[in-house]
Amino acid sequence: MSAAHTHLFLQDAGPDKFRGPVIAAESVAAFYRTHRDKVLILDVACGTGFVGQELQKRGFKQMDGLDPCSSLLEKARAKNIYRKEFCCYLNDKPLPIEDNTYDCAVLSGGMMEGHVPCSGLYQLARVVKPGGLVCIVMREEFLEHVQEYRDNLEPVITDLESRAIWRLASRTVVPNYFLDKNGVVFNFVKC
């Protein structure tokens, strides 16, 4: 299933079946309890803007979106959620974003088979300011069932921690992330 088809499927599922955007927005809001209108956020794998909409509901106003699918970004653009959009993949290639630009990067729904590779986490860490948050929300079962994550995710996380690029602030398992499947929320603070 392509990224666009996956995203549209999740959209059709609705927030009662796919809770990733709500979970991600709540996690970011818990980290940034005040001055949310000043927090600059990069919504990665933003698709049509579900996470951005949930962040707006919680008082966040300054967001940019990144997604490799131009048709999904067009739908997001029509909602006037993001200041700007980046149509590119998150992988080991440098993003067209300066170092230490964002207060927060949030990634929900992009960590699945054939989507964001583990190498993309280095780019997330690079574009977030020291003291900022990197929030990753994904299906828990993908940690074992997706070979890319089973074999590589933990070593990448450990490498970023051992090099003092970020530190794990929390790892939380959440029920009913997608239907009856658990999700996992990783919150990292940039060093």
CATH number of the domain at 100, please.
3.40.50.150
Question: In this model, does residue 2 exceed pLDDT 70?
Answer: no
Q: What is the mean pLDDT of residues 68-95?
A: 96
Q: What is the pLDDT of residue 3?
A: 52
How would residue 97 be classed by pLDDT, with cut points 50, 70 and 90?
very high
pLDDT greater than 80 at residue 164:
yes
Mean pLDDT, residues 33-47 taken together:
98
Which helix H or strand E contains 53, and what residues bound it? helix 50-57
Of the given ranges (12-16, 122-126, 155-159, 166-170), which has the lowest mean pLDDT? Answer: 12-16
Q: What pLDDT is recorded for position 11? A: 53
Residue scoring higher pLDDT (145 or 2): 145
Q: What percent of the chain has pLDDT over 70?
A: 92
Looking at residue 1, what is its pLDDT?
47
Residue 6, pLDDT above cutoff 70: no
Residue 128: which of 165, 180, 163, 161 has the closest Cα?
Answer: 165
Q: Tell me, what's the pLDDT at 17? A: 80
User: When comparing pLDDT for 16 and 31, which is higher?
Assistant: 31
Window from 84-88, 113-117, 127-131, 185-189 with minimum mean pLDDT:
113-117
> What is the C-alpha separation between 13 and 103, in angstroms, rounded?
30
Instruction: Dig out the tokens for 123 from the structure.
Output: 């780019």
Question: Taking the model in full, what pTM does it have?
Answer: 0.93
- With bands split at pLDDT 50, 70 and 90, how would you rate the model's confidence at 145? very high
Rounded to the nearest angstrom, the gap between the alpha carbon of residue 112 and the centroid of all alpha carbons in its chain is 12
- Give the pLDDT score at 87: 98
Predicted pLDDT of residue 4:
52
CA atoms of 8 and 49, how far apart (whole Å): 11
- Helix H or strand E segment including 50: helix 50-57
Mean pLDDT, the chain, whole residue set: 93
Mean pLDDT within 58-86? 97
For 77-95, b where at least 16 C-beta lie within 10 A, e where not — what string? beeebbeebbeebbbeeeb
Which range marks the domain in which residue 174 is found? 3-190
